């Protein structure tokens, strides 16, 4: 039996997801290329999310164009499709297997955030030296304070 790829949805799962999709917006002029089928766009979105590839790499797969998939991803994300699908999945799992709520875990990182916002502590007592206040010793030679020149100088 051949195993399905993670981005290929079964008919039952697609029927469940299709019911969550918002109605298609109409084109203001009425004349445009036909829209990529929703199932193909969802397969493209799931391909990018499951493989971690860039959106532009989706063009070479033949699943869907990258611009259509990304546009549909933003549209469905704003409509709350993925959040609702996740919520329904949790409720279905709770109904069949049951979630063990006695033990929970939260993912976290124990490193500094480079853009962590405002500092709520006093400044350190470290050096107050300016950027060019002291020069490395190898940059200057002699007592004149002039930079060292390589080669012969004409007199």
For the stretch 130-146, pLDDT in tens is 665 665 565 555 555 55
Cα separation, 68 vs 78, whole angstroms: 15
Q: Which is higher by pLDDT, 52 or 110? A: 52
Instruction: Confirm whether 106 is domain-assigned.
Output: no
pLDDT at residue 62 above 90? no
Q: What is the pLDDT of residue 100?
A: 77
- Number of folded domains that form the chain: 1
25 HSE (CA, 13 A, CB side): 9
pLDDT at residue 81 above 80? yes
Instruction: Confirm whether 109 is domain-assigned.
Output: no
Query: Mean pLDDT over residues 94-120, rounded?
Result: 71
Handedness of CA 13, 42, 51, 11 (dihedral sign): positive
Q: What is the pLDDT of residue 1?
A: 45
Handedness of CA 95, 97, 103, 109 (dihedral sign): negative
Q: What is the pLDDT of residue 144?
A: 55
Range of the domain at 38: 11-24+33-96
Instruction: Confirm whether 125 is domain-assigned.
Output: no
Q: What is the pLDDT of residue 42?
A: 93
Q: Which is higher by pLDDT, 31 or 63? A: 63
b/e burial code for range 44-55 (CB count within 10 A of at least 16 → b):
bbbbbeeeeeee
Q: In angstroms, how far is CA 100 from the centroid of its own chain?
A: 30
pTM assigned to the model: 0.59
Cα separation, 135 vs 138, whole angstroms: 8
Band the pLDDT of 102: cuts 50, 70, 90: confident
Instruction: Confirm whether 75 is domain-assigned.
Output: yes
Q: What is the pLDDT of residue 145?
A: 54
Instruction: Confirm whether 2 is domain-assigned.
Output: no
Q: Which is higher by pLDDT, 73 or 24? A: 73
Cα separation, 60 vs 36, whole angstroms: 16
């Amino acid at each position: 039996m051949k195993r399905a790829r993670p981005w290929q949805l079964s008919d039952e799962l697609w029927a469940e997801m299709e019911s969550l999709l918002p109605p298609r917006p109409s084109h203001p002029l009425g004349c445009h290329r036909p829209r990529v089928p929703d199932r193909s766009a969802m397969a493209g979105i799931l391909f990018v999310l499951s493989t971690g590839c860039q959106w532009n790499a989706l063009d070479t797969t033949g699943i869907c164009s990258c611009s259509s998939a990304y546009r549909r991803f933003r549209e469905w994300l704003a409509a709350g499709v993925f959040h609702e699908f996740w919520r329904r999945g949790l409720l279905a799992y709770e109904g069949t297997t049951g979630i063990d709520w006695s033990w929970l875990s939260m993912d976290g990182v124990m490193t500094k955030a480079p853009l962590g916002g405002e500092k709520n502590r006093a400044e350190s007592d470290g050096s107050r030296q300016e950027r060019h206040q002291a020069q490395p010793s190898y940059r200057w030679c002699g007592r004149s304070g002039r930079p060292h020149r390589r080669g012969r100088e004409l007199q």
